[in-house]
Structure 1
Amino acid sequence: MVSRDYAIYDVFTATPLEGNPLAVVFDADELSLETMASLAREFNLSETIFLSAPQNEAHSAQARIFTPKGELPFAGHPTVGAAIAQVERRGGLAGDGRIVTLEEQIGLVRCVVNDDRGTLFAEFDLPKMPVAADLDLEKEEIAAALGLSAHEVGFENHVPTVYSAGVPFLCVPVHGLDAIGRANVDAESWHAFSKRTGFGEVYVYTRDTIRHDAAFHVRLFAPALGIPEDPATGSAAAAFSGVIMQFDTPHDGSHVVLIEQGVEMGRPSALRLELEIEGRELVKARLGGHAVKIAEGKLFV
């Protein structure tokens, strides 16, 4: 019987049982896409990443990412978790940081893994810069889909937008922690909203935060992907860099934005987004976070 190793990591946290759980399956070369999809449903986590031999020997691994409902071309928390898993599987860090290159469906993703006070931290350059898409929805319709009042949608100059850095997200600003805490997506009504509008994932955010060092407090709902709510969403944070550029117009230089997520789920997460701006244009962005292994075992498929 064939067996292959797997591990479970909590990602975007340095504390076990917080952050976003991830299943990492190693030596996945002989697995069909159908079997990968079945295993992702079996793990029933927001995402499972399968690592196999790279197509280019100079790279670290080829990666396929699945939710319980299908495959994604790119996702942040599997990228961070897989990079750290690769380093730990190969003996850990030796001196300075290690570079891990993952061949994802979106393209090559380059990660740097370092030790941060005893916990590994991985950071990667966004493989694609955020791009805006048209949004032809009234805020009343968006608010109703989230169980909120229209006056609770929007703050300062922020209004709902759609951005993608590989995966599109409807980004919705709301007034304060109370409103974002009450935001809710009913699966049946959201299915109708999603079918009518074409938006499957909604990223709700506010500038009010719980952590003193966080810039935004966010929640992510994606029932169409089999994810009622996600504790930490790197691909959404990547897209959110476009929102920051549009509404906050940061000046030239390097800017670090800490995003807190998962609090309402009892799985607090911290995502570090770094923006490099030249001539008021976003020229590079990096996303990073910690990850800790909480379990490991073997699959017999």
Structure 2
Amino acid sequence: MPAYPFRQVDVFPDAALGGNPVAVVLDADGIDDATMADFARWTNLSETTFVLRPTNERADYRLRIFTPGGELPFAGHPTLGSASAWADHVGSEADRLVQECGIGLVDVKRRDDGFALAAPPLIRSGAASAEDTVAAARSLRIEVDHVLAAEWVDNGPGWLALRLVDADTVLALVPDFERMPFPLGVIGPHPAGGPADFEVRAFVPGLGVPEDPVTGSLNAGIGTWFFGAGIVADTYTVRQGTVLGRNGFVRVERDDEGVWVSGATRTHVAGEVTL
């Protein structure tokens, strides 16, 4: 079987082994779709990516992103982890990269000990219907009047985001995954002086990921919502993965170019994989 360069990168860790790992297969143009899907199921991580030659001349590389349950047009932590793996593989020290993926072109730039991605345009936005809000609340086992707002923030995975009263309420959720109608994200504020400005959790049972440890796409979508609605100023921080024993830390900010989601990236496995 052919061997391919391989990295496993921890994304958004606030401390060692605390983020969301992504498996990255490089120089993957020779791998067929079925093998990609099989390998993603085998790794059993939230996402596994395959880095290919770009088809758009503006892009540095093309990315295909698989969960154990299927392929996604875009996802955040795989974007940052794959950017780190590709740059390390080819020896690039460029400050800016362009990724081609199912949603189009995504700008990526270096930040501190990791990378930042530009939040892509939302495929679906706006307030959720009363029916969808009730269904979401029911799947989270909370009363609908505990939901301060429900907003579509779909940039590929299909996110509906719910704003709850505080971080403790977010942490206390015990979802009913069988009743969850679509990918759900929840966010609530920490008190001043807390570990971050907000606590976030992400639930994607339909894609084989009941709870995602740390989620770039959801935080990008929520950032687009929160900045657009004036809920936050120019920068805020997120803790995610707490219930799963992780210590994910995400920074979300806005500048003249748009909304950016950034975090640390650390490679823990490097070698090759036979497929």
TM-score (norm 1): 0.82
Contact residue 119 and residue 221 of structure 2 kept, 8 A: no
Aligned length: 274
| Percent of aligned pairs sharing the same letter | 32
- Give the alignment of 1:60-79 within 5 angstroms: 60-79=60-79
Q: Give distance in 2, aligned partners of 1:60 and 1:92.
A: 10
Q: Which residue of 2 aligns with 1:214?
A: 196
Q: Which residue of 1 aligns with 2:264?
A: 290
SS in 1 for 2:129: coil
Q: 1:22 deviation in Å?
A: 0.4
Q: 1:290 deviation in Å?
A: 1.0
The structure with the larger Rg is 1
Q: 1:181 deviation in Å?
A: 1.8
Q: Which residue of 2 aligns with 1:142?
A: 136
Q: Which residue of 2 aligns with 1:168?
A: 158
TM-score (norm 2): 0.90
Tell me which amino acid in the other structure corresponds to 1:85: A
Tell me which amino acid in the other structure corresponds to 2:18: E
SS in 2 for 1:168: coil
**Structure 1 residues 41 and 295: CA distance shift in structure 2, 3 A:** same
Contact residue 87 and residue 98 of structure 1 kept, 8 A: no
Q: Which residue of 1 aligns with 2:30?
A: 30
Tell me which amino acid in the other structure corresponds to 1:274: E
**Structure 1 residues 130 and 12: CA distance shift in structure 2, 3 A:** farther
**Structure 1 residues 41 and 210: CA distance shift in structure 2, 3 A:** farther
Q: Which residue of 2 aligns with 1:98?
A: 95
Q: 1:125 deviation in Å?
A: 1.9
Q: 1:78 deviation in Å?
A: 0.7
Instruction: Note the residue ranges of structure 1 that are not aligned, 5 or more in a row.
Output: 195-199, 278-282
**Structure 1 residues 6 and 162: CA distance shift in structure 2, 3 A:** same
Q: Note if 1:276 corresponds to 2:255.
A: yes
Tell me which amino acid in the other structure corresponds to 1:188: E
- Give the alignment of 1:216-255 within 5 angstroms: 216-245=198-227, 247-249=229-231, 255=234
- Alignment deviations for residues 145-184 of structure 1 (CA, whole Å, 9 cap, x no partner): 1022344322xxxx11222233331111223233212212
SS in 1 for 2:159: strand
Q: 1:209 deviation in Å?
A: 5.7
Q: Give distance in 1, aligned partners of 2:192 and 2:65.
A: 31
**C-alpha RMSD of matched pairs (Å):** 2.4
- Alignment deviations for residues 93-152 of structure 1 (CA, whole Å, 9 cap, x no partner): 4xxx532221111111221124x3xxx311122232575145223555432210223443
Larger CA deviation: 120-129 vs 59-68: 120-129
Instruction: Note the residue ranges of structure 2 that are not aligned, 5 or more in a row.
Output: none
Contact residue 14 and residue 249 of structure 2 kept, 8 A: no
Contact residue 167 and residue 198 of structure 2 kept, 8 A: no
Tell me which amino acid in the other structure corresponds to 1:189: R
Contact residue 14 and residue 292 of structure 1 kept, 8 A: no
- Give the alignment of 1:28-67 within 5 angstroms: 28-56=28-56, 59-67=59-67
Tell me which amino acid in the other structure corresponds to 1:207: P
**Structure 1 residues 261 and 249: CA distance shift in structure 2, 3 A:** closer
Q: Give distance in 2, aligned partners of 1:32 and 1:266.
A: 35
